[in-house]
Structure 1
Amino acid sequence: MKIALAPDDAELAWADEGSGEPLLLIAGQATAMDGWGPTAAALAQHFRVIRFDHRGIGGSSNGDAGRYTTRLLAADAAAVLKAANVDSAHVYGHSMGGRVAHWLAIDHPHGVRTLILAATSGGKLAGAEPTKYAMEALVSGDMARLEPLFFAPEWAADHPDATHTFFNSRATAWAKARHFRASRDHDAWSRLGAIESPTLILHGTDDALTPMPNAIQLHRHIRRSTLVKVPGAGHGLHLDRPETIQWIRQFIAAKAPL
């Protein structure tokens, strides 16, 4: 594990594996880099995969309390790329990580070759909020309640270690609360038109935490975007739908600038 220094000198734990074009993975709310599990391993067969722990999560320090916003978390992601000696990378963000990725693409347009967004949103959207049950499960942090919202039962049964790792990132209640607030307060709808990177939007049709209308609006706001609706998938399609790996590879091969 390596350390990058954030703009406030917070220590950000990061790691890389594989070789080829760099691909930065940005995890979701209060989720450590280990949560990418089998997806990171599969992608590392084709790319130099760079992962990191958000501030307050896993091996990263808390840093300043005022820097828990999606836009400032994007500055952390940029610091990780700098530490990895990467000027530009493909960027894959899941859930809150997708929100962070929005700002990375907006504030560092030349640093994002292509953008992959999974199960995410540009901010609050009337009529497309999480269901009451989904929100209560998210707030509870109860793995038994959350698992069906994220993963297909058969995948979770076949991958107990990956599921446990995903839901059990090391984080204090202090950090978790700030991650929750950062994700909830995200609002980039008016700025998404500034994203220049070719963008692949992956979204499950059964996502109760981020309902499908969010992805449709993302597609409308991001000019160079492609939307793939994944039938029956929930919020964790970045893990339990391995076919997305091939889709991402094909998209990058077709869209990445030379």
Structure 2
Amino acid sequence: MNKKSILILAFFAAFCFIVAAGCTGVPTNPTPVPSETVHYPTVSINTTPVKYVRVNGVDLAYREYGSGGEPILLNEGFGETQDTAWNATFLGIVATKYHVYTYDYRGVGYSNDTPGNHTIAEYADDAAALMQALGYSSMNVYGQSMGSCISQQLVIDHPERVRKLVLDSVSYSIRIPEAQNLYNKIEAVANNTTPASPGITKEAYACLAWNGTWNGLSGISQNTMLVVGTADVITPQAIAVQMAGQINGTWLVRFKDLPHIGNHEAPVEYGENALDFLGMNESPPYANP
């Protein structure tokens, strides 16, 4: 073998060694890829003006957030008002894509009242009438705690008024064993063991008189999402699981270790979850247009 051939072989061997080293080598200090952080606009609840509309003989007080997208009506929980019911970050997230309406039930917050006690069905009638008074034939609906009871009654009594439905911290009745803590809380207010305003006391009477919605759940055809925290002891996740089996095609979202009404604990997660559900096209490819 001549000298030229030896040099060529040596060069080829060195080349193969370099290529092999390059293919198998691992960088000692890989550069991390920064994760993208989404910055949502904030809303100020207290500085957002309260407006009024006449509905079923009362002046219901409401606020609105966001200016575009489909409308969504938020039904607040027992003993709450629109000042305290919703986390501002949660509202801001939902308002990025939807026109959000919060309001006070008759007799609480900024809304006035009529004589006598009320029913869950009456609160649902108010919600349906409020939509029309605001210029909508229907809205998406998000209800939490007592608001989820009103939202269930709304979709059963006025199905044409509801587009998509979110039931957060939900029960179909307060008289089932799983909801004993909820029942005790409501009863204490009704019996004046826990002092409350007249409007909230009327809410308690309405909850105690409510017959629930179990028999009507299977008739709900709207796209529905149930949301619950696994640490919720007021409306435990077992109730949502039962309801998911009754409502065809229901989403069931369980947030690990979060309590009753978790949007205050995890507003970003709850807000993004709501956007995912509301924005999802759930019509199958074979559905008729």
What is the letter of the counterpart of residue 236 of structure 1? I
Give me the TM-score of the superposition, normalised by structure 2.
0.72
CA deviations on 1:187-207 (whole Å, 9 max, x unpaired) are 111111221110010001111
**How many residues are paired up?**
226
Alpha-carbon separation, structure 2, partners of 1:137 and 1:221: 26
Q: Aligned to 2:270, what secondary structure does the other structure show?
A: helix
Give yes or no for the alignment of 1:43 onto 2:94: yes
Question: What's the counterpart of residue 15 of structure 1?
Answer: 63
Question: What's the counterpart of residue 201 of structure 1?
Answer: 226
Question: What's the counterpart of residue 104 of structure 1?
Answer: 154
> Is the 2:141–2:164 Cα contact (8 Å) retained in structure 1?
yes
Q: Aligned to 1:120, what secondary structure does the other structure show?
A: coil
Q: Aligned to 1:195, what secondary structure does the other structure show?
A: coil
RMSD of equivalent CA atoms: 2.5
| Structure 1 residues 159-170: aligned runs within 5 Å | none
| Structure 1 residues 213-252: aligned runs within 5 Å | 213-242=238-267, 243-252=269-278
What is the letter of the counterpart of residue 3 of structure 1? Y
Moved more, 213-222 or 171-180: 171-180
Alpha carbons of structure 1 residues 125 and 136: separation in structure 2 relative to 1, 3 Å: closer
Give me the TM-score of the superposition, normalised by structure 1.
0.80
More helix by share: 1
What is the letter of the counterpart of residue 206 of structure 2? A
Alpha-carbon separation, structure 2, partners of 1:198 and 1:235: 23
Higher Cα Rg, which structure: 2
Alpha-carbon separation, structure 1, partners of 2:107 and 2:186: 22
Alpha-carbon separation, structure 1, partners of 2:78 and 2:186: 14
1:127, distance to aligned residue in structure 2 (A): 2.9
Question: What's the counterpart of residue 206 of structure 2?
Answer: 182
Alpha carbons of structure 1 residues 51 and 126: separation in structure 2 relative to 1, 3 Å: closer
Unaligned runs of at least 5 residues, structure 2: 1-49, 190-194, 284-288
CA deviations on 1:221-253 (whole Å, 9 max, x unpaired) are 212311111111111213222202111111111
1:77, distance to aligned residue in structure 2 (A): 0.8
